[in-house]
Structure 1
Amino acid sequence: MADNILYKFRSGKPIKFLDFLKNFIGLAVPDAWYRHQLSKKLEKARRRADYDYLKQRVDYYIRINTPWKISGQDKLERSRSWIHYTGAIGDYRRKMFHTAYYFDQHDVTRYFPKRLRWNFCPGDVYFTPDVPTVVKSRLLVADNQNSVVLKLDKLRHFMYVHDAKPFREKKDCAIFRGKIRQSRLRTAFLTRFFGNPMCDCGVVGRNEGCPDEWMTAKKTIREHLDYKFIIALEGNDVASNLKWVMSSNSLAVMTRPTCETWFMEGTLIPDYHYVEVKEDFSDFEEKLRFYIDHPEKAEEIIRHAHEYVSQFRDDEREELLQLMVMERYFRTSGQL
């Protein structure tokens, strides 16, 4: 227990308790104050010099432009890693699902009248809903317009690092620490590369049915940054470490994404923003050796990754984008 508590303070990840405390205190501000600010916020977005860029991102997150009608019947369906809620935004309660999702959606929905209805599916969503639904993650398929992406579970997903160690001074090795989470990719990777001298890899947390020798101690984010390559493999949906890895001076190594979040993983360019490897990992060692032998190529990818990450670091713009997404959702459903 003591080791676990110490790790939480040393891990380099945000401390969830402090974030929740800030959010609970924030609930003291009446939602009516935020609703009064909505029109001003949207007008402020329209006056921004980067308004065309904002519209492009809104079009990416919500691909609904034609009128549709939301069900008037309340519904709450539960699964292992997600729920599907249909009802008024003001009736969505913290205890319905993980607290982080409650606060993240409330940061946005508090600007809108509580009577407005939505379909909301928080959690690891690896399917396309039958009706327009607000989600954290969606499949990268052509017919995914019912998946409306919002910035959810952001404390876990949207964190970045300051990495002072240059790529050339790092270990010629790749690191993976994570849970299996019934992930075919992660299982295949560990089966092939556990014990390989080019990899420091292992499973953390509870044993989820993997071989006992795969279980290993956690490493802090700072310890990850000693390695030239950091593995970012999808679990239930996206790789949650991808954002901070791409903000570091290490290379993100992953297969082509099949899901995306607010980070717009579907717009990432292989071997330009990250190092792409095949799903059977047959080219994994070859790719690592190439960038070890050509550090200037690695540094080029790292520079592109930093440029990509930078577009998500303007907090005011990120808030305006979410308000614009939800305004279109409620407007196209005929409620505004």
Structure 2
Amino acid sequence: MKDSKFPYYFSNASSLLIPRFIYRAQAKRLLSTLTEAQKAICLDRVNYYNKCRAPFQVDSNEQSYATISGFKKTKGWTYFFDIRQVMRYFPSRFAFNYINGDVTHIPNVPSFIKSRPIAGQNQNSVVLKLNQIRHFKFIDDPVRYQDKKGMVAWRGVGFQPHRTKVIHAFYDHPQCNIGQTRPVEGQPWEKGFMSIEEQLQYKFLLCIEGNDVATNLKWAMSSNSLVIMSKPKYETWFMEGKLQAGVHYVEVNDDYSDLPEKMNYYLENEAEALAIIGNAHQWVEQFKNDKHERLISLMVADKYFTLSGQK
């Protein structure tokens, strides 16, 4: 399950040498290959990511402003490459607003972002598939649910108060292999690194939100383990806001106080656990079609540019 980042960086760096008009021609070909049913599915996701309805103006007074021709790296190469993967299909004179990083607020003007709050009027938060090399990892789990340990596993950093509450409550629980990897201060709830392969030995996987979303949610939902988490407060391209409790994952209280109760229920009701895992796999499948993913990204941006009067 080790993955190399070299192909990602090499292909993106190489693409800088390809003229933009080639990409604009590709965009038209991509759209022409979709059936009407596929277009409808794509459009549903486009309108979820980009909820703008009324015309607006791109704001050059905002710090997060750029023209496509003038767009430069501001927060790591992954954000630069992922935004550029979409923008290269459009005329270089087009302008846009964007915010990199873990965004937990709603921008003042419609802006491209990686993450947004699920609640509230979030139409100014236009979601793109950003920092995908870190977040969009899917796996092929070789271990059947039936053959896994009847316990829950989680490893992660414990800087956020809502995480430390869960860690302190369950690090020594007999049904839990839960611990923080950082900060390292000699506390009893600190535990060593645990690989994905090791975590896949457990029937249950916790997905606790960090600064925004739970980074491990994507690969966890592609596993044969059952995802347990509180109701998501933030979402990304993975559309966490559309996930249904009891259908795609097992929902617990915000403080995870009912975690043992939920585990015991699904240990006694294996068929229900397997059904949720199957639904999670179906959810993941929609993000594995690279052609559709690229086209949906282009349609999200095209809607943005159209409503901002740059068509």
TM-score tier by shorter-chain length is: over 0.9
CA offset digits 1:193-246 (Å, max 9, x no partner): 111111111112443xx6633322212111110000111000000001101111
Larger CA deviation: 323-332 vs 49-58? 49-58
Is residue 27–residue 295 contact of structure 2 (8 Å, CA) maintained in 1? no
Q: Structure 1: which amino acid aligns with 2:19?
A: P
2:225 match = 250
How many angstroms apart in 2 are the aligned matches of 1:169 and 1:155? 30
Q: Secondary structure at the match of 2:37?
A: coil
1:88-128, Cα deviation, whole Å (9 max, x unpaired): 1221212x111111111111111011211111111100111
1:21 partner letter: F
Partner of residue 70, structure 1: 58
CA deviations 1:53-80 (Å, max 9, x no partner) are 111111101011211111244x53xxxx
Partner residue in 2 for 1:14:
3
Unaligned runs of at least 5 residues, structure 1: 1-11, 77-84
Contact conserved, 1:14 with 1:155, CA < 8 A, in 2?
no
User: Please, which of 232, 238, 253 is the counterpart of residue 263 of structure 1?
Assistant: 238
Indicate conservation of the 8 Å contact 2:168/2:189, yes or no: no
Q: CA offset at residue 18 of structure 1?
A: 4.0
Instruction: Give ranges in structure 2 of 5+ residues lacking alignment.
Output: none
Deviations 1:170-198 (A, max 9, x none): 01111111112x32321110011111111
C-alpha distance after superposition, 1:245-293 (max 9, x if no partner):
1111001110000000011111111011001100122211000011112
Q: C-alpha distance in 2, partners of 1:30/1:216?
A: 49
1:187 partner SS: helix
**Amino-acid identity (%):** 39
Q: Does 1:114 align with 2:89?
A: no
Between the aligned partners of 2:2 and 2:65, the Cα distance in structure 1 is 33
Q: Give the C-alpha shift of residue 32 in structure 1.
A: 2.9
SS of 2:98's equivalent in the other structure is strand
Structure 1 contact 38–112 (Cα < 8 Å) conserved: no
Paired residue for 1:93, among 61, 64, 72? 72
Paired AA for residue 22 in structure 2 = W
Give the Å deviation of 1:312.
1.1
Deviations 1:277-329 (A, max 9, x none): 00122211000011112211110110111111111111100110000000000
**Aligned residue in 1 for 2:298:** 323
Distance in structure 1 (CA, Å) of the matches to 2:2 and 2:303: 33
Tell me whether 1:128 sits opposite 2:106 in the alignment. Answer: yes
2:164 aligns with one of 187, 194, 200: 187
Describe the shift of the 1:29–1:206 C-alpha distance in structure 2 as closer, same or farther (beyond 3 A).
farther
Q: Deviations over 1:120-148 (max 9, x none)?
A: 11110011111101110110113000000
Mapped contact 2:30–2:291 kept (Cα < 8 A): no
Q: Using the alignment, how far apart are the partners of 2:172 and 2:8 within structure 1?
A: 38
Relative to structure 2, which stretch is displaced further, 277-286 or 47-56? 47-56
The residue that corresponds to 2:194 in the other structure is 219
Match of 1:203 in 2: 180
CA change 1:205–1:114 in 2 (3 A) is: farther
Q: State which drifts further: 21-30 or 195-204.
A: 21-30
* In structure 1, C-alpha distance between the alignment counterparts of 2:266 and 2:72, rounded to whole Å: 49
| Counterpart amino acid of residue 272 in structure 2 | K
Q: TM-score, normalised by structure 1?
A: 0.88
User: Of the candidates 44, 64, 67, which is equivalent to residue 56 of structure 1?
Assistant: 44
Tell me which moved more, 150-159 or 324-333. 150-159
Q: Alpha-carbon deviation of 1:25?
A: 2.4
Aligned residue type for 1:171: K
Deviation at residue 29 of structure 1 after TM alignment: 1.9
Q: 2:82 aligns with which of 96, 104, 110?
A: 104
Structure 2: which amino acid aligns with 1:302?
I
What CA distance in whole angstroms lies between the structure 1 residues aligned with 2:261 and 2:133? 35
Report the Cα distance in structure 2 between the residues aligned to 1:67 and 1:276, rounded to whole angstroms.
38
For 2:18 and 2:76, the matched residues in 1 are separated by: 22
Name the aligned partner's letter for residue 69 of structure 2. Answer: G
Distance 1:90 1:170 in 2: 52
In structure 2, distance between residues paired with 1:156 and 1:316: 20
Q: Check whether the contact 2:110–2:126 (CA below 8 A) recurs between aligned residues.
A: yes
Asked if the contact 1:104/1:151 (under 8 Å) is kept, the reply is yes
Is contact 2:59–2:109 with CA below 8 Å preserved after alignment? no
**Count of residue pairs the alignment pairs up:** 311
- The answer as to whether partners of 1:42 and 1:323 remain within 8 angstroms in 2 is no
Contact 1:138 1:144 in 2 (8 A): yes
- For normalisation by structure 2, the TM-score amounts to 0.95
